[in-house]
Amino acid sequence: MDSSTCPLDYRYGRKELKDIFSENKKLQYLLDVESALARAHAKLGNIPQKAADEITKKATTKFVKIKRVNEIETETKHDIMAVTKALSELCDGDAGKYIHLGATSYDIVDTANALQFAESTTFIQKGLKELRSTLVNLSKKHKKTVMLGRTHGQHTIPITFGLKMAGFAMEIERHLERLFECKSRLLIGKLSGAVGTGAALGDKALKIQEEMLINLRLGVEDVSTQIVCRDRYNELLCILANISTSMEKFATEIRNLQRDEISEVAEAFEEKKQVGSSTMPHKRNPITSEQICGLSRIVRSFIIPAFENSIQWHERDLCNSSSERFIIPHSIILTDWIIYQTNSVFKNLKIFPDRMRKNMEISKGLPMAESMMTTLIKKGMGRGDAHELMRKTSLKAVRLNKSLKEVFTEENNKLKILNNNEIDNALNPDNYLGVTEKIIDRVIKKLDR
């Protein structure tokens, strides 16, 4: 019987990301670091090249098995000692005695973490680029699809659906920039021993560290304690939380626009078999968008323990270790999944331009009050007077349940400022979109690659 208790095991997350954080892959990262350490020692003449070659040959999960590592850890109560002992058991000759030479456990662990970060954030970047492309395509397709803008949940002035999507696409672009910029600070390893002095490595400590990390294609921690400085991890967690928050923002917009009383967009729904409710047969719920929102809150919640992990006793304590076993894989796997699901929502989104037009009629022309005001100003009326006229006209239209056009026409008959054609033009939403198309074109030019 399956005894899984974590939803990542059976419900959320893509296989590719979960594989990166699997027990077997984590072991391989640790072995990669140990073999790189041996090669660095050999290059500097500290150990025989033959020993380094043997360690490198055996430092793979093809030879070193999780089962054996776990057996040793049960006895030693130390995970890295279990790895080094399991590896040394498999090495021919005296190669085993050179494994882990001069290193402390977190030289291996934190450097392996950096290898995980490198691989996993590449997937996140790819997912963000795919979502960006989806949003750019929607902004192109719906450049002229007019809809209501809304602030405070109220009707404002017209925008286009393409403008909304262009704004989302630019938000994704900024996240890609943040993730790229973060990598120079994130993909960092260390080989500096128990408290950062490199004492156990001798006079060549800095060169050994440099050689090991060049081999692994990682940067070097400038000044470490026993661990890589956790402000680096905090930056990643904040970026993941920021990305997830954007996904929740986008998903919340879909959920709101899918409300029955709005119905301007909707998540795709498999009509043949999908069920919306166990009791209400008519329901077509935005379940993927709701999942995105729920999981984004989990990612954000990891910021607090991540920051607390940065507060170490002296050169380090062990409080961060158990916490990070949850924080790091869950944050990255869930963020990738959230991005993937968001792309699915927007790629298959149902969009209803006719309903967008119809919803503009609900307020009986009130969203065009600003347009009318600017038209009056162009005809010579002062800005303050024009605003006051349209404010009173709008309130009167609401009070009498009349259209803005009806009430304004009554006022205009007294003032004789605008002709009928000018009134109609001012009340046409297509005429009051400002530089929307230019803004969208600028975004498309920048991001359509």
pLDDT tier for residue 275 given thresholds of 50, 70 and 90: low
Q: Are 31 and 60 in contact, with CB atoms under 8 Å apart?
A: yes
Name the token pair of 245.
């928050």
CA distances from residue 402 to 13, 333, 424 in whole angstroms, order as listed: 53, 54, 16
Q: What is the four-CA torsion angle of 7, 10, 11, 14, rounded to 10 degrees?
A: 110
Domain 7-98 has CATH 3.60.20.10: no
pLDDT tens-digit profile of 9-51?
Answer: 889 999 999 999 999 999 999 999 999 999 999 999 999 999 9
State the pLDDT at residue 3.
Answer: 72
| Residues noted as catalytic | 152, 277
How far, in Å, CA of 301 to CA of 348, rounded?
Answer: 29
Q: What average pLDDT score do residues 283-311 get?
A: 92
Nearest-CA neighbor of 427 among 158, 155, 163? 158
Please write the tens of the pLDDT for every residue from 384-420.
999 999 999 999 999 999 999 999 999 999 989 999 9
Backbone angles phi, psi at 143, to 5 degrees: -55, -35
User: In 63-186, which ranges are E strands?
Assistant: 146-151, 154-160
- Could you tell me which of 136, 143, 236 has the C-alpha nearest to residue 184? 236
* pLDDT, mean of residues 351-376: 95
Residue 1: predicted pLDDT:
56
Q: Which CATH superfamily is domain 105-358 in?
A: Fumarase/aspartase (Central domain) (1.20.200.10)
pTM here is 0.93
User: End-to-end alpha-carbon separation of the chain, Å?
Assistant: 48
Percent above pLDDT 70 for the chain: 96
